Amino acid sequence: MGARRFHSLKWPLALFLATGVFMHSSYAETISFDTDAVGSLPDSWVEGVTGRGTPRWTVESDASAPSKPNVLKQSGAGTFPWCVRHRTSIEDGFVEVKFKALAGTEDRAGGVVWRWKDGDNYYVARANALEDNVSLYYTQNGRRNTIKYVNAPVAKNQWHSLRVEFSGKRIKVALDGQVYIELDDEHIVGAGAVGVWTKADSVTSFDDFSYSSATKP
């Protein structure tokens, strides 16, 4: 299936299910974007925004990429731009990405989303290089709600790793291998897609996007 570009506020879960693009078996993958065409949205990803704006997610060449030569870069602007891997349906597992916050005067953020039902309902964890913190939110009916903030060093123009592990109510958020948030929350339940996220005018690059569903006994 080729790349699809969606700028609407939602791409509902029902549409994913109706078109059969979710995979229901356990699956693990790491995506480096190195086989995708530069200047395009990567294959099997969709983009959009929670709120308003015009996100621009494209594969770009980057000599500093952790796995050369390409990265996924968000260079547009919007309330909360997102880009999700639409061949995913994970309830319990992990999602991880390497990111570099390049620019932004309102925000310089990089994040991951999981249990993504549509553009208005999902979990998101993000690190902010302007505020030097890591935070966890749930987005419900288009409104972002704060669960927890924790101070953490997030250097600008440097690669960082952000990882979230989730199982049932338990959520664990780690930046550069250190766990900053670990708690229980059950606002968003059931399986959903995984992907990446930014905020406002953040210009952010992403590489080595990894995810897996947990193996249940």
CATH number at residue 117: 2.60.120.560
Q: What distances in angstroms separate CA 172 from CA 94, 129, 134, 180, one per listed residue? A: 9, 20, 12, 8
Q: Using the Cα atoms of residue 34, residue 40, residue 45 and residue 49 in order, give the sign of their dihedral.
A: positive
Q: What's the pLDDT score for residue 215?
A: 62
Range of the domain at 38: 25-213
- Residue 76 is encoded by which pair of tokens? 């547009």
Asked whether 121 and 97 are in contact (CB, 8 A), the reply is no
Examine residue 52 and state whether it is found in any structural domain, yes or no: yes
Examine residue 134 and state whether it is found in any structural domain, yes or no: yes
Q: Which pTM value belongs to this model?
A: 0.87
Q: What's the pLDDT score for residue 15?
A: 37
pLDDT tens per residue across span 147-198: 999 999 999 999 999 999 999 999 999 999 999 999 999 999 999 999 999 9
Examine residue 146 and state whether it is found in any structural domain, yes or no: yes
Q: Is the pLDDT of residue 105 over 80?
A: yes
pLDDT band, residue 214 (cuts 50/70/90): confident
Examine residue 10 and state whether it is found in any structural domain, yes or no: no
Examine residue 205 and state whether it is found in any structural domain, yes or no: yes
Three-state DSSP class for residue 32:
coil
Q: How many domains does the chain have?
A: 1
Q: 3-state secondary structure string, 94-148? A: EEEEEEEEEECCCCCEEEEEEEEEECCEEEEEEEECCCCEEEEEEEECCEEEEEE
Examine residue 164 and state whether it is found in any structural domain, yes or no: yes
d(CA 179, CA 47): 28
Give me the residue label for tokens 């994970």.
Answer: 90
* Nearest in space to 188 (alpha carbons), one of 57, 102, 92, 98: 92
Asked whether 144 and 124 are in contact (CB, 8 A), the reply is yes
